[in-house]
Every structure is written in structure tokens, then in C-alpha cells.
Amino acid sequence: MKVYADQAATTKISSRSLQAMTSCCEKYFGNPSSLHEAGREAEAALETARGEIASCLNARPGEIYFTSGGSEADNWAITQAAAVGAKKGKKHLISTAFEHHAVLHTLDALKKQGFEVTLLPVHEDGLVRLPELEAAIREDTALVTVMYVNNEVGTIQPIAGIGEICRRKGVLFHTDAVQAAGHLPIDVEADKIDMLSLAGHKFHGPRGVGALYVRKGIPLGNLIYGGGQERGKRAGTENLPGIVGMAEALKESLQDREEKNARILCMREKLADAILQIPKTRLNGSREKRLAGNLNFCFDGIEGESLLLYLDLQGICASSGSACTSGSLDPSHVLLALGLPAEVAHGSLRLSLDETNTMEEADYIIQVLPDVVKRLRAMSPIWNGVG
């Protein structure tokens, strides 16, 4: 059996999204900036997709800017919010210790430009504490950026509470919603979100396309200079087929979402109950306040890379953390932020499921994984010291 249990890394494009892209290539081949009929038709398709994405977030179409993906959207949002703050003498930024590197590396670059960064702890359950966040906000705080759902342990942050605190304090609030969009209902108005990033390939849309929501009235500087695309903020001919495919995928992902999540949760809980029977195994992050399809375990005495290779030989695709850091030999910064020792964090496994997975696939993982862990521990000199 072949099992794809790495949906958090990327998803297979859906038939509806692919069909929307193919149709767009055939029907709307003109440049959206051209004044002739083919250009006007392409522009209409572009703006329809913008409106559809906005509707899924309870935003206005004019608040949506298209990007090449989540990392670009994160970079754009954070650097521009920092620039706005600097003009007012505010050069303090707040985030968490387990953000995606698209956020953390951007913050590191800003520190070199004289900004001060506070990284909030996320505790053993992988959750931000609202009182700690509020206490960290200062008179010179320009931005709070906290991810909606963690990409490794799947914990869902108290976004509405963060938004309320930031709005009350007059601080901009950005959230990296790459792992949340298409999987959770998002309402930027109700949650008082000022800026939000998403990526199409995380919810069965195409790769290489994403979006940034920026609340009306917030200044946004240019990302790319050139033509007048994206209201003059991001020059370059738009990836119209990708944008149309992303919009279709987001709409599709949110249809019957509660029913889908209920089925995914059944798979997840069955997996969790079975895998936690393996000795010296721990589930990382809150079991309750996490995305329906996410599970992240550590197994004492083994290396995560070896575990992944053995599972791959059995037809199971999984990961040890973020796909963006899969080439690194360092333990996950996310798991270290949860307080795990480095030697334990090395033995992690992330299983991420969605509505395309089946209970039969979950049963196959349950059948295969204990034997793989047992085999690796038998070969491990580390296990001899802890087993």
C-alpha cells in the first residue's frame, strides 16, 4: 500500500483546481494589463479570483495581493509593517520561538537593521499565553506576528485573543495562516487580523502562488518595482492560471469542512491511540488544540531520518518536521521551543492527513510503524542507554 501522510508539506492539486487552471490557459490567455478584449477578459478572471479569495476570508477584494507563495507573503508583510513602525519610532517586534523560518529569518534580517525582537515562549503544549503576549507589548512595539497553526506540531493559536489585544494596544497583527487556510474557517474581521499570509499548494491548489491580505488603511510599500500590477505594489505579469486554480481550491477546501474535519479527526485519534502504545513515545503539542490532521511524535532512542527512510521503504510518505528544513541535521527548532532535549527532538515523526486519506491507510500505518521503531531501536546504541 502507498500512503501519503505528508499533507502539511504539500498537497496534490485537486481535479477542480487543475480544470480551472486548464480552462484559464485556454480561455484567458491575454495579459490582464492589456486594453484589448483578450486583456479585459483576463483581468475580469483575475478580479473574480481575487473576490473569491477575499470572500473565503471575509475580506474585501481590494485587500488581497497575490504573491508567489507563503514565504513571500510573510516577508512582505513583516518588512512593511516594520517599515511603518520605524517611521513612528517603533522598532520592537514580537513573535514566537517556533514560527516558520520565513518569519524567523525575516526577523533576524530586521535585527541587523536595528530592530529589537521578542520571541514568546510556546510552552510544552505548543500554545501562546495571552497574558504573556500582552505583557510583552511596549510603547515602541510595531508588530505582533504569530502563526495561525504551527506547521510541525499543528497547534492552533488563540488568534482571536491575539487580535483583540493588538487592536486594543494599537499594534499591527500579522498571522502566517499557511497551515490554516483551507482547513479552518478564517474571518479576518472577527479575529481583528491586520495582515495574513496563505499558499495555494497547502489546500490542493497549485505551487508557486499565494496571497497576502492587508487590511484597508494599512500602508503597504512596493515589493517589486516595474509595472502597475497588484495596484502598483508587486510588478510583473500575474500568474493568472495559478491564481484562478488557487481560488478554486480554496473554495473547494472549505466546502463541507466540518464534515471533512470530523472524518480526519477519527483517523487522527485512532492513530494517536495506537502509536502512543509504543514504549517511550510522546505526542508533541496539545492533543486537543491542534489541526485535525496533524500528529507529531518523538520516539526515544532513534533518529527521525532513519525512521522516515524505513517508512518510505514500506510505502509511507511522512516527515520529521518542516519540508523547508528537511536538509538540516539540526533538531527541530519547534520541538526545542516546546522544551524537548535535542537528543529527543532528533527522533521526531510528523504524520499529516487530510480528507484525501482513508481509514485503511491509517490502519496500515498502525500495522507498520511499531515494527519499524522496534527494528531501529534494536540497532541503536542510544536506545541501549534509555530502553
For the question of residue 324 being annotated catalytic, the response is yes
Q: Which of 56, 166, 317, 324 is catalytic?
A: 324
How many of the other CB atoms lie within 10 Å of CB of 289?
15
Radius of gyration for the alpha carbons in the chain, expressed in angstroms and rounded: 22
How many of the other CB atoms lie within 10 Å of CB of 33?
14
What cell numbers appear for 375 in the block? 527494528
Q: Taking a C-beta distance cutoff of 8 angstroms, is the pair 128, 152 a contact? A: no
What cell numbers appear for 215 in the block? 487590511
How many of the other CB atoms lie within 10 Å of CB of 127?
21
Going across the sheet that includes 294-299, the strands are 281-283, 294-299, 348-352
What is the 8-class DSSP label of residue 149?
Answer: B
CA distance 43 to 256: 30
CA distance 254 to 275: 30
Residue type (1 letter), 29 = F
* Catalytic residue set: 324
